[in-house]
Structure 1
Amino acid sequence: MIDVTIENFESEVIAASATQPVLVDFWAPWCGPCKVIGPILEKLEAEYAGRFKLVKINSDEEQQLAAAFGIRSIPTCILLVNGQPVDGFMGALPEGQLRQFLDKHLPEGEPPAEEALPDEAPLDAQDRLEQLQHAVATNPADDDARFEYVKALLLAGRLAEATATFEPVAGKAAGIRRLDSLQRMIDAMAFAAGQGDAGPALAALEARIAADRRDFEARFGKARLLAAQQRWTDAMDELLEILMRDKGWNEDAARKTYIAILDLIEPPKPAVAEGQIPPDDPTVATYRRRLSSVVLS
């Protein structure tokens, strides 16, 4: 087991994963479940005798790395192969499920795939909104339900309702990443609404960018307009253009807005059999990797 920082991340994780799978355990000293899963992972690393490498990242001390991987809660473990994340899980899984996770990806001993649970009939958009609205009304202190409700309202283009629903938790946004993401998307959509006709507004910003590729205010404005139109990948591509030139521009506004888009567009995880890991949405996974590549370069 190796403690990894931003200084040795490239050698101990990216380069090392070219020769053996690397399991990255994001943890913190105050985290109770981290203290449960940590010794089990160390035991398994020894038992598996070189089939994978375990590294630990203190998410409190290495916030840049945690942000680059989009860590929402700890413990979170991510398996990398050839420099790319291939799977992961959150929470302190029991040892049996950890073995299943490792055996699924490591060079030897792959178990037969377990049958996935049958898909449930998905709710339509209106039914989901009504269900989430009821959940928030029933328990106003449930920030998870409120997050999902505001997210659904934003995706439905109902900015005024989203803003009003978000208002009771707005004061906590600075300290809670998912709430900060909602605030940034509300701000982006409010910005777009204030620009009037999106076509001329985008054209004006593109003209500024053509004249000065380092006009980050114009690029940021364009990204917000694109996000308001739900052109998510176009918006993230524009934010990446900022990050490639100035990672910390405007108090990290580009990176945080990029993460906000990922939080907004990530679909709910489907139900799977016990011990299996729900698959990541391909677009979200791709753009997480792109962000990691730029931020850590």
Structure 2
Amino acid sequence: MIDVTVENFEAEVVAASMDVPVLVDFWAPWCGPCKSLGPVLEKLETEYAGRFKLVKIDSDQEQQIAAMFGIRSIPTCVLLMNGQPVDGFMGALPEGQVRAFLDKHLPSAEEMIAEAEEEAAHEALADGDTDAALERLQHAVATDPANDEARFDYVKLLLTLGREDDAKVAFAPVIAKAAGSRRLGALKSWMDALDFVAAGAYGESAGAEFDAKIAANKRDFDTRYARARWLIARQRWTDAMDELLEILMRDKGWNDEAARKTYVAILEIIEPPKPKVAEGQIPPEDPVVATYRRRLSSVVLS
């Protein structure tokens, strides 16, 4: 529990809520109900073990903050997540009701562990430590199997490292969801491309064979699409998108929009994790992703 003032409000409440939900308890020393609610909140903060952060604001001493939140009576509690108030309650609620309020909004312990492991994995990747990143992501998926974001990152890293069989095993529990999920569908497109290349025994020399066929017939879309999938299998992402654009410029709807769908899948695969930002703010976009999104829009909307 932390006492918050105007001086530390930004750091202890707004900034902190970007990483963990923050419960703000508005109270005053003369308030009898506040004295009964305070120990309940402190007990739950300890019991929830990092799932939320409790801060206390003396509404008499910090009238500016109280006015900002429109506090009319005390005790009043406000829950902030990602820099914004999301819910609250007034009065000295019994422990069971406070617990129900928290459980409605807070991530589970498993979700928090998985999220922390994801962030640690991204940091490890930024440092070039793929082994540590893989271990973190594997733990995240094992801890919270329903976390599709962690699973996406885990399968993506396995594929990036060429561990296709391990990737397929890790992907199997969510394969039925691929058709309704852009990110999971992107992974399936990648694995389908790998299977296509393996089945066709397309080796390094296939590139020259594809080029020769395309030179003879610019509208040989089957060959262009095969070349794009061959490039995907080699993780030559921008080259693959360039080839898919060649199809789209000539026939946007070819083969049930296969070129557009595969192009979008590549964008999902190559887009780096977005940093956390306050609600309402737009995270910066990767320049390569931004460029190829614009190219797709230009072709599709032309």
TM (norm. structure 2) is 0.56
Shift of 1:255: 0.7
Equivalent position of 1:126 in the other structure: 131
Which of residues 189, 211, 217 is equivalent to 2:216? 211
Equivalent position of 2:175 in the other structure: 170
* Segments ≥4 residues shifted beyond 4 Å: 92-95, 271-276
- Preserved contact between residue 197 and residue 230 of structure 2 (Cα < 8 Å): yes
Structure having the higher helix fraction is: 2
Shift of 1:137: 1.1
CA distance in 2, matches of 1:93, 1:176: 28
Equivalent position of 2:228 in the other structure: 223
Establish whether residue 237 from structure 1 lines up as the match of residue 219 from structure 2: no
Shift of 1:231: 1.2
Equivalent position of 2:72 in the other structure: none
The SS at the match of 1:199 is coil
The SS at the match of 2:205 is helix
CA distance in 2, matches of 1:179, 1:274: 25
Establish whether residue 292 from structure 1 lines up as the match of residue 266 from structure 2: no
Equivalent residue letter for 1:181: A
- Report the CA distance shift for 1:132/1:259 in structure 2 as closer, same or farther (over 3 A): same
CA distance in 1, matches of 2:208, 2:200: 12
RMSD: 2.6
Equivalent position of 1:190 in the other structure: 195
Shift of 1:195: 3.6
CA distance in 2, matches of 1:265, 1:161: 20
Q: Which has the higher contact order (CA 8 A, sep 6+)?
A: 1
Matched pairs, number = 184
Establish whether residue 269 from structure 1 lines up as the match of residue 269 from structure 2: no
CA distance in 2, matches of 1:244, 1:93: 43
TM (norm. structure 1) is 0.57
The SS at the match of 2:149 is helix
- Report the CA distance shift for 1:162/1:268 in structure 2 as closer, same or farther (over 3 A): same
Shift of 1:194: 3.0
**Farther off after superposition, 263-272 or 199-208:** 263-272
Equivalent position of 2:254 in the other structure: 249
The SS at the match of 2:230 is helix
Q: Deviations over 1:127-160 (max 9, x none)?
A: 1111111111112122121111111112222211
Structure 1 gaps of 5+ residues are: 1-91, 96-118
- Preserved contact between residue 154 and residue 162 of structure 1 (Cα < 8 Å): yes
- Preserved contact between residue 227 and residue 240 of structure 2 (Cα < 8 Å): yes
- Preserved contact between residue 229 and residue 240 of structure 2 (Cα < 8 Å): yes
- Preserved contact between residue 195 and residue 201 of structure 1 (Cα < 8 Å): no
Q: Deviations over 1:45-73 (max 9, x none)?
A: xxxxxxxxxxxxxxxxxxxxxxxxxxxxx
Equivalent residue letter for 1:186: M
Percentage of matched positions with identical amino acids: 63
Equivalent position of 1:145 in the other structure: 150
Equivalent residue letter for 2:196: F
Which of residues 200, 207, 212 is equivalent to 1:202? 207
Greater Rg, structure 1 or structure 2? 2
CA distance in 1, matches of 2:133, 2:277: 21
- Preserved contact between residue 183 and residue 269 of structure 2 (Cα < 8 Å): no
CA distance in 1, matches of 2:123, 2:145: 27
Q: Deviations over 1:186-239 (max 9, x none)?
A: 101222233435222222221111111111110001001111111111100000
CA distance in 2, matches of 1:282, 1:195: 34
Equivalent residue letter for 1:212: N
- Preserved contact between residue 228 and residue 241 of structure 2 (Cα < 8 Å): yes
**Farther off after superposition, 231-240 or 121-130:** 121-130
The SS at the match of 1:137 is helix
Structure 2 gaps of 5+ residues are: 1-81, 86-121
CA distance in 1, matches of 2:258, 2:277: 36
Equivalent position of 2:162 in the other structure: 157
